[in-house]
Structure 1
Amino acid sequence: MRSLRIKAAVTGLAAAALLLVGAIPAPAQSQQEDRKTTYKITPYVISDPALIAEPEKLVEEVKKHGDLDRLGIKPSTSNGPSKMTKKSALAADPASYVVDSSRFPSGRIPDDIYDYTNWDECDTNSGAASQDAGWIKNRYSYCQKHLVFMPAFECGLFPPRCRLAGTYSSSNTLIGYGKVGGHEDHPNFRWADFRLKVENIVTTGPFAGSGADMSAAMECEGDYKDDEPNHNDEHACYAHENEETEKSINEWRVNNEAYFDIASQAVSSDPLWGEQIATGVFHIEYEFDLPWYFQFIDTEGPEGGMRFDSAWYLQSHKLGSVFDRAVPGMSYTKSDAAVGGVATHLEEARANPGATLPTQTDKHLAGGTPGDPIHRLAQAKGEKQSFRYDENRRIVRNFCATKAMQDLKATLPVDQGPYDCDEYPMASTYEGAGRHLFPDEPYGGAQYERHYSARWVNSEVNQEAGRRLGRWYDVDRLLDQDAFYIPIR
């Protein structure tokens, strides 16, 4: 594992001093001065939008107190970035993203399936991007902002006190790009790439010298979901061909970007090998070369998460990578005439499930929020999934053929038909109408009998909503049992 390092050559008494005091004295004019002065650097990697915007507050704090403890910020360690002891209130729901169903008219694949973010859009969403988890715009687009801050101290042993000798600070932005299709050099390998931008570099003291260098490197560790003999977890996620960029700090000022990529090994996409799901945890690591300072400090930047798959049953692309630390969402809009009837059904059914048909006490209809999701049932994955999907459809079809439902249909305006019997949750979910028939399978149980809603909706509206949903499953790589939600706008 790489680490953030401040290094220079040392010999003789300097090396011995490291063992005694944990830091190396600069070249001195006498052995007496060597014993009186030591040098140390404390690294911080901070995700906080207020501090990223005003790093000068950190300089003033270390001038006064020698650390950032009073701001609730601990130094970064080998286990990750700086810990914030003054935490803000946790969000009620997990991280999520939403795309509107109009992105998939008639079930078409968008011209640009990625809809990547850019530097300006990331800045606009800096509040979310400055959280440790970053901002996930969509399945393929990730952004994280953090501040690298390092005070350098000169410490006297006689008397024992330290003074601030200089600081380094920069606001760094990492944008990630998920992919579909294999790597150009390895068609079966899943991959993603990243851009790092280092901005607002401010240096004083030893960091401003001509010998000060900084390197940034990508690291990813992962594992495969299934223990297959042809899968080694070391290959689940790893830095690929573009692993590290090293430049002097002055060169970073002139050219402030770096490029990285990660990969996940797999064999051909085929039912024989399964989905070949691998998950990875990635982060940027920094290394500094600073004259006269020799100090090894293990630290890591904020972590992000990625999932790789080779799901043969997806229609348009059989392998790809997505950022998996946000619950996917696709919205229907009531004012969109193409799907408005389905949008109204879902909104009203979830708001008042007791008023839906079939009637059932204590009915709960999930899927309205990222904290209460539903789960995709991919009938093309195998016989079990196909059978459960068919049972979902059969249950609803039989209910919609009952006299009560047919009498209700007869009261509807003829000029607004023809009508389909719309169901929610959909047959393509594990929460579908037949879930009570599968007590030993995921999200099943006898207690869920009649926990669905059926309503007559214009046939074209119902089918258009279904086409959009099916294409979204495909484009955003929702695999069997993936959680998602459908907000109504």
Structure 2
Amino acid sequence: MNTRTTLARYARGVVTTAALTLMAALTTAAHPVPATAQPDAAAVEFVDAASVPADQLRGFNQPIPLADYLRSHGTSTLARQNAAASAPSDQQDLRQQCASHAAEAKTTNGWIKSRFESCQKRPYDLILRDVRGTTSIGRLWFDQWILGFTHDGDRRVDYVASIENIRVQPIPTEDATKWRVGQHFRSSIDASNSDPDPQVTEPTTKERDELLGVWDRTPQWTLTYTSPDRGPLFDQGNQQRVYSTVTMDLTASSPTAAPFTTGVDNYHSNVRYDYAGKVAGKYKGTVFTAARVELAMSQKDPAVNESALHIYDALNRPERTFPSWPGKTVPGVKEPLHRMVDQSKIDKNRQKSIGECKKVWGDYSGSGLQCDEYPFASTEEGSTKGDNRFSVRLIDGTDNRKGGERLAEMYTLNRILDGDPFYMKITN
């Protein structure tokens, strides 16, 4: 994940120089500041541009790429890294998908693709202004990326963080080469939901506060969190589950600026480490707990079309299902199902469901049909829950077995443990 490539030195051009001169002139005209006027210490602050009145943004609408600004101020831009181009293929793929989910990606939790991949792409637009809120001094734009990768088979999560696409527009008397941006990571453990003695090992470096030019040259860095394990204890009932939250605070500053106060808790990531053993597939692993896991089935899939139709009817046309009662609803779309691994309880669900099938269809032995049940016997919402919000139907035995295989695969591929939620997605 730390593969680095560098780009060639940018060539200085006449067009760029002219553009910088024009922008500076426009800014000075819109916001005249005496050449000798410099804000006192802590007299200015970075704030979200969305909070600034429109009249104070006039003239600050011509962003200058940081590389161009640095060259105009005699600062070298050698060895600049393109984070996207230099990233491994898994990161490039996630970045492309993340960009297509822009609305979710810019939220505090980001876009959570799966139990093993997540990303945040959050654009920032900040104004440097005096603390009285009367004069704007500069504008700063950049994108924050955080790519998250958990691991099925390892108690580890990696975050690839970066500050990219930096643009500035300061007034002539303000030096943007001295502006800084910081990413500050911290983690916490939810001991009340974790198994005994939960621990997380944090990375050695958890903060990076750099000048804009440093971010421009090396935008990307990686943080790795792990949870130590004590070997297989799942047979003793200890799955060594550790629920943890990783949080990031963002800072922006200049030598004369007060602290940026709206960057606290700008990123949240909830993870779970476990050593659950064979019930999880790979004996240990880590997942993003906020991911929405769905078991998808298609009514056009000949292998499971009868299973899919039964589940579709239970979810959307429960009046067609048995047992039948007025106002019946069945969970799985808005309400999640929850996995259950206690084999004796699973068997009781199956026995009750088979009894319901026999009440409706009688003895079906030798017919090649089997009693299909939804919600599944391996869920807490199965037929013995006591609320009668379930359905049974006779379907082809091969179809029924294949549906069970799909369910087991979903459990394993998504590292669904006892009590973990998941949803159904039935397509036509």
2:177 equivalent in structure 1: 210
Structure 1 pair 39–268 and aligned structure 2 pair: CA distance change class (3 A): same
Q: 2:121 aligns with which of 145, 148, 155?
A: 145
Structure 1's unaligned 5+ residue stretches are 1-27, 45-54, 66-113, 183-189, 379-384, 437-447
* Residue 356 (1) aligns with residue 341 (2): no
Shift of 1:58: 7.2
| Residues 116 and 177, structure 1, Cα contact 8 Å, conserved in 2 | no
Shift of 1:36: 7.8
Residues 219-263 of structure 1, C-alpha deviation per residue, up to 9 Å, x if partnerless? 2222234576633xxx35x63245234443123223322222223
Structure 1 pair 338–207 and aligned structure 2 pair: CA distance change class (3 A): farther
Q: Distance in 2 between matches of 1:425 and 1:207?
A: 64
Shift of 1:304: 2.7
Q: 1:63 aligns with which of 32, 56, 63?
A: 56
Where 2:348 maps in the other structure, the secondary structure is helix
Q: Distance in 1 between matches of 2:232 and 2:424?
A: 29
Shift of 1:62: 7.1
Shift of 1:319: 2.0
Report % sequence identity. 22
RMSD: 3.3
Alignment of 1:268-347 (within 5 A): 268-271=231-234, 272=236, 274-288=238-252, 290-293=254-257, 295=259, 297=261, 299-347=264-312
| Residues 171 and 198, structure 1, Cα contact 8 Å, conserved in 2 | yes
Structure 1 pair 144–332 and aligned structure 2 pair: CA distance change class (3 A): same
| Residues 41 and 257, structure 2, Cα contact 8 Å, conserved in 1 | no
1:389 equivalent in structure 2: 346
Where 2:416 maps in the other structure, the secondary structure is coil
AA aligned opposite 2:339: R
Alignment of 1:8-407 (within 5 A): 39-44=43-48, 61=54, 63=56, 118-154=94-130, 162-182=134-154, 190-205=155-170, 208-226=175-193, 230-231=197-198, 235-236=199-200, 239-271=202-234, 272=236, 274-288=238-252, 290-293=254-257, 295=259, 297=261, 299-367=264-332, 369=333, 371-378=334-341, 385-402=342-359, 404-406=360-362
* Residue 425 (1) aligns with residue 375 (2): yes
Shift of 1:34: 9.2
Q: Distance in 1 between matches of 2:42 and 2:324?
A: 77
Aligned length, in residue pairs: 358
| Residues 389 and 427, structure 1, Cα contact 8 Å, conserved in 2 | yes
2:83 equivalent in structure 1: none
Q: Distance in 1 between matches of 2:180 and 2:42?
A: 21
| Residues 120 and 145, structure 2, Cα contact 8 Å, conserved in 1 | yes
TM-score (norm 2): 0.73
| Residues 45 and 260, structure 2, Cα contact 8 Å, conserved in 1 | no
2:413 equivalent in structure 1: 475
Shift of 1:424: 0.9
Shift of 1:462: 1.1
Q: Distance in 2 between matches of 1:127 and 1:285?
A: 20
Q: Distance in 1 between matches of 2:133 and 2:99?
A: 40
| Residues 292 and 422, structure 2, Cα contact 8 Å, conserved in 1 | yes
TM-score (norm 1): 0.65
Structure 2's unaligned 5+ residue stretches are 1-34, 59-89
Deviates more, 1:245-254 or 1:190-199: 245-254
Where 1:281 maps in the other structure, the secondary structure is strand
